[in-house]
């Protein structure tokens, strides 16, 4: 079940998404512009609990640098592995973004950003196009960072892009430490999304087709 406002009215660009399968139960409450409206010391504006510590860290960075207010909880079958939890979280969060944006009128649409973390440098490019696609070269080497399988990092971005109906390219340009690589990716994606979802003015859909 999903509820979205997708307008610039009193409630802002907000969404609530519930996704439940035989493997996971995900609850998301998202305000795309929330942290821009929150007091600077409002740490409660982001609360993420998936049962995978490093994944929570990654999602927190995405929300914080994206300017989002986010409450996200996933109860998944971690006794099996981390696949279903990460995948379904990406799908639910992407769906929340799509619902919050509504008809996508007035957004900048395109965004790109670089983010470093010590020796690591990542680049993200976003088109809020209505056409879901993900491509990335993350060059991760370890099997896991904490309890998160590194193979699930690009899969999260893929799932998120599919559900949000965006085109997303993410590349690690350099880096030696996989923790740093992944965190740089999260921050670059957040900054690119912040630019792409920003309100550019007017009430037009930013497409020659008239629809996204």
Domain positions in the chain:
2-197
**How far is the C-alpha of 65 from the C-alpha of 4, rounded, in Å?**
22
> What pLDDT, in 10s, does the model give residues 147-160?
999 999 999 999 99
Residue 11: the pLDDT is: 58
Q: Can you give the C-alpha Rg of the chain in angstroms? A: 16
| Alpha carbons within 13 A on the beta-carbon side of 47 | 8
pTM of the predicted structure, to 2 decimals: 0.91
Closest to 163 measured CA to CA, from 73, 92, 58: 92
Strand order in the sheet with 24-31: 2-4, 14-20, 24-31, 69-76, 46-49
In the predicted structure, residue 2 carries a pLDDT above the cut 60: no
Class of domain 2-197: alpha beta
Query: What CA–CA distance (Å, rounded) separates 189 from 113?
Result: 7
Q: 38: pLDDT confidence band, cut at 50, 70 and 90?
A: low
Cα 192 to Cα 67, 71, 141, 168: the distances in Å are 11, 21, 25, 9
Q: What is the pLDDT of residues 92-138, one digit of tens each?
A: 999 999 999 998 989 999 999 999 999 999 999 999 999 999 999 99
Tokens of 175: 């880096």
Q: pLDDT category, 7, cuts 50, 70, 90?
A: very low
């Amino acid at each position: 079940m999903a509820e979205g406002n997708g307008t610039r009215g009193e409630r802002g660009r907000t969404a609530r998404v519930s996704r439940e399968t035989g493997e996971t139960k995900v609850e998301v409450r998202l305000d795309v512009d929330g942290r821009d409206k929150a007091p600077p010391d409002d740490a409660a504006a982001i609360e993420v609990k998936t049962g995978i510590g490093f994944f929570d860290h990654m999602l927190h960075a995405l929300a914080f640098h994206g300017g989002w207010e986010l409450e996200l909880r996933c109860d998944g079958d971690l006794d099996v592995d981390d696949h279903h939890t990460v995948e379904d979280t990406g799908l639910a969060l992407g769906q929340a973004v799509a619902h919050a944006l509504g008809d996508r009128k007035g957004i900048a649409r395109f965004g790109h950003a670089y983010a470093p973390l010590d020796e690591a440098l990542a680049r993200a490019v976003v088109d809020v196009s209505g056409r879901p696609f993900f491509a990335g070269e993350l060059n991760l080497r370890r099997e896991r960072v904490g309890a998160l399988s590194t193979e699930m990092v690009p899969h999260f971005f893929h799932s998120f892009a599919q559900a949000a109906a965006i085109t997303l390219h993410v590349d690690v340009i350099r880096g030696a430490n996989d923790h740093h690589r992944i965190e740089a990716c999260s921050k670059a994606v957040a900054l690119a999304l912040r630019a792409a979802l920003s309100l550019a003015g007017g009430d037009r859909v930013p497409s020659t087709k008239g629809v996204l």
